[in-house]
Copies of this chain bind each other. A is one copy, B any other.
């Protein structure tokens, strides 16, 4: 048996993928569980990622004509009651506020008092409360479109939680728009899906499949739900963003009506779309390796870290001066339209420990600088997309000229690696036998593209049997085929996978 190579993260992906995921997060100091059930604490390195995601998406939303606003955290029960009337066996896992006061009882124990006349629900999503406001704001076609986004926290009482992927409280953005025509609302729905796809590709370096959900997976109340689906390194799918065309359904339940230019009273057409801190989980699971986090350069809190290597005290001044000067020069460089984010790690600890710390934190470029490098006016450069030991000496001059290109290369390398993995683990299947035997291997099965013309019931049956769901009907797939489950010809293709 070959001697196992030591990795910074144990277990490795191959050994235990879910545990590897937790350990990557821990080693990178991204987040941790809090004493509040299912709620996470997002630590500075993890929050820095989310801030960078927010900045880019916020700019993209504004460039597509949206504005931000803020709506209440609480939703009166009566608003959900309206929804419940249309949903059989309505039950919602959510945080319910029933009292407005804490008061010490005779034993000094704080007890909830001041019972509310109507319970309030901590928003799991804001369609109902935003719809209520929109119904007041929209009177005439001149008030349309409304193109509003909200950055907010939401709460869903999840039983089994996992950092970033599924937490009781999470951070997200929810866009809610209102339009005078169906055509315009559909266009908006697809435009924002495209924004998500572009963001995933150009910033997360994550290839996604864009498509429409089947009826079984549709957002309740939506006419159509679209999503972007990404493949994780365990070959499971993760839904990374959704965009819903709500038709006139929400306009009707919220009474969003307007007087058209022809003087006709009409219900408006609405959309909603969102992504969340789940994106951080996707980013981790697509790119990271057995040495820890690997960050796509455009979203990394730091692009470059400089690590002074000081073997003897006599070298300290020369190395430190050189590193500080180098940091100044790098801070003057750009990556895309952003100034370079450069950390100089002057902490008082062993060089090797520092280097591994930054490997585990996923910083795209590491520059080690020792006395010999100073003499040669050069740095020892490591790229996080390559093996930790695979480093090379680069002259300072070359570094300054090539750093933007290097970061661009890393982005491209991560994207291409993920795309290759996705393609290698996607199979076209045309028979039921092949379908079931492929998914019989729980560990190695990935995406299956297969013609589909089944009902929601049949979809549910298959999913109960195999734990596989239809992720979407991909939009970039033009071919059709014979559905192996129903025999229907010219059926559109569907993407099947196990999923998060």
Q: Which residues of chain B are near A71, meaning CB under 8 Å? A: 34, 41
| Contact across chains for A69 and B98 when beta carbons are under 8 A apart | no
Alpha-carbon separation in the docked complex, A388 to B110 (Å) = 56
Chain B nearest CB from A166 CB (Å) reads: 15
Report copies per complex.
2
Asked whether A120 and B36 contact (CB < 8 A) given A96-B99, A102-B80, A110-B81, the answer is yes
- Residues 19-57 of A at the B interface (beta carbon under 8 Å): 32, 34-36, 39-44, 47-48, 50-51
Number of interface residues of A (CB under 8 A): 65
Residues 83-114 (chain A) with a chain B CB within 8 angstroms: 84-85, 89-104, 108-110, 112, 114
Q: Is A369 an interface residue (CB 8 A)?
A: no
Q: Does A132 sit within 8 A of B, measured CB to CB? A: yes
| Residues of the B chain whose Cβ atoms lie less than 8 Å from the Cβ of A205 | none
Give complex CA distance A93, B110 in Å: 12
On whether the beta carbons of B157 and A101 are closer than 8 Å, the reply is yes
Contact B133 A34 (CB under 8 A): yes
- Contact status A74-B36, CB under 8 Å: yes
Q: In the complex, which of the residues A39, A48, A73, A169 has the most CB atoms of chain B within 10 Å of its own CB atom?
A: A73
- CB pair B96 A100 closer than 8 Å: yes
Q: Are B73 and A48 in contact (CB under 8 A)?
A: no
* Chain B CB within 8 A of A67 CB: yes
Q: In the assembled complex, how far is the CB of residue A60 from the closest CB belonging to chain B, in whole angstroms?
A: 16
A85 neighbours in B (Cβ, 8 Å): 108
Which of B34, B91, B98, B101 lies in contact with A98, CB distance below 8 A? B98
Tell me whether A342 is interfacial, beta carbon within 8 Å: no
**Taking the complex as formed, is A400 at the interface, i.e. its CB lies under 8 A from any CB of chain B?**
no
Asked whether any CB of chain B lies closer than 8 Å to the CB of A121, the reply is yes
Identify 28 residue pairs between A and B in the complex whose beta-carbon atoms are under 8 Å apart, listed by A's number: A34-B71, A34-B129, A35-B76, A36-B75, A36-B76, A36-B120, A41-B69, A42-B70, A44-B67, A44-B68, A47-B70, A48-B68, A50-B70, A73-B122, A74-B169, A81-B110, A90-B103, A92-B103, A92-B110, A93-B100, A95-B99, A95-B100, A95-B120, A96-B101, A99-B119, A100-B157, A152-B153, A153-B153
- Cβ-closest 5 pairs across A and B: A39-B72, A44-B67, A96-B99, A42-B70, A96-B112
